[in-house]
A and B are shown apart, each in its own frame.
Chain A
Amino acid sequence: MNIVGISACPAGLAHTPMAAKALEKAGKELDYNVKIEQQGSMGPVNVITQEEADDAAFVLIASDQKITGMNRFKGKKVIRVDINVCIKAPKAVLKKCVTAVGEA
């Protein structure tokens, strides 16, 4: 399963990369192909292409911040999750999202 997402935090310094790495690592362990774009202080890092967006089962937004480029995900199921929960329990977050999308 392909999953894409975006992380962003208030200062864009620490939690943005931490959430992205945590989710990608959890994806590997659960055998999902996870790619998270970081919208932090360096500008967009690890940018999700339109093709990747189209191929994704759903979009995971790890943030309560304003996210740019949401038009890439038109028609996709978008799930917003608290960024701290993504760092603390990334596997549980992915599993829950996958279940939620499956049931929809």
Chain B
Amino acid sequence: MELSEKDILLHVKVADRDELLRLISKRAEELGNTNSAENLFKAFIEREKDYSTGLQEGFAIPHAKTNFVKNVGIIYARLDIPIDWETYDDQPVTDVFALMVPEANAGTTHLQMLSNLATELLEDSFKQHLRELDNQKDISEYISKKMGVDVL
């Protein structure tokens, strides 16, 4: 699994978390990760109810594990206007990694890559470098490289 330029959304302008997750769900439908943007959106929201996926320093990692996901996918969205999200440091969110996984048979390699991405978000160097990149090609290549199964 590699991220492509289509998985990277830059200069996103949304009013709030729900509008962003709707936008990401719609994109996921266009990209073939799901047949139902509406149900994917609901799955994201359901997961947020367990506890928020907001992290710190402007990052959030919403995820949906549902049968409405056909192919494992990641969408990265960078926002022009920070949005409210429950986070560890009470700061608004500007950088969002949305993970989409089918309920069963996601594949160990894919899950490992998502795991690698999640743990990269603990690293200051990853966050800093990511924010220095400003085009879809560089960003998708950088994230793909960092998710590589060897990175663990």
Q: Which residues of A contact B (CB under 8 A)?
A: 10-18, 21-22, 25, 38, 40-42, 84, 87-88
Partner of A88, one of B53, B88, B108, B112: B88
Taking CB as reference atom, which chain B residue is nearest A11?
B65
Partner of B122, one of A18, A40, A42: A18
Could you jot down 21 A-B contacts, CB within 8 Å? A10-B50, A10-B51, A11-B65, A12-B65, A13-B118, A14-B53, A14-B61, A14-B99, A14-B114, A15-B118, A17-B115, A17-B118, A18-B121, A18-B122, A22-B122, A25-B122, A38-B115, A40-B111, A84-B88, A87-B122, A88-B88
Q: Does B21 contact A (CB under 8 A)?
A: no
Query: Could you tell me which residues of chain B, from 83 to 126, have a CB within 8 Å of some CB in chain A?
Result: 88, 99, 101, 106, 108, 111-112, 114-115, 118-119, 121-122
Q: B101 touching A11 by the CB < 8 A rule?
A: yes
* A42-B122 Cα distance, complex, nearest whole Å: 20
Q: Which residues of B contact A (CB under 8 A)?
A: 47, 50-51, 53, 55-56, 61, 63, 65, 88, 99, 101, 106, 108, 111-112, 114-115, 118-119, 121-122
Distance to closest chain A CB from B112 (angstroms): 7
Interface SS of chain B: helix, strand, loop or mixed?
mixed
* A22-B88 Cα distance, complex, nearest whole Å: 14
Distance to closest chain B CB from A99 (angstroms): 22
Taking CB as reference atom, which chain A residue is nearest B119?
A21
Q: A18 touching B119 by the CB < 8 A rule?
A: yes
* A13-B47 Cα distance, complex, nearest whole Å: 11
Taking CB as reference atom, which chain B residue is nearest A85?
B88
Q: B55 touching A13 by the CB < 8 A rule?
A: no
Q: B47 touching A10 by the CB < 8 A rule?
A: yes
* A88-B108 Cα distance, complex, nearest whole Å: 27
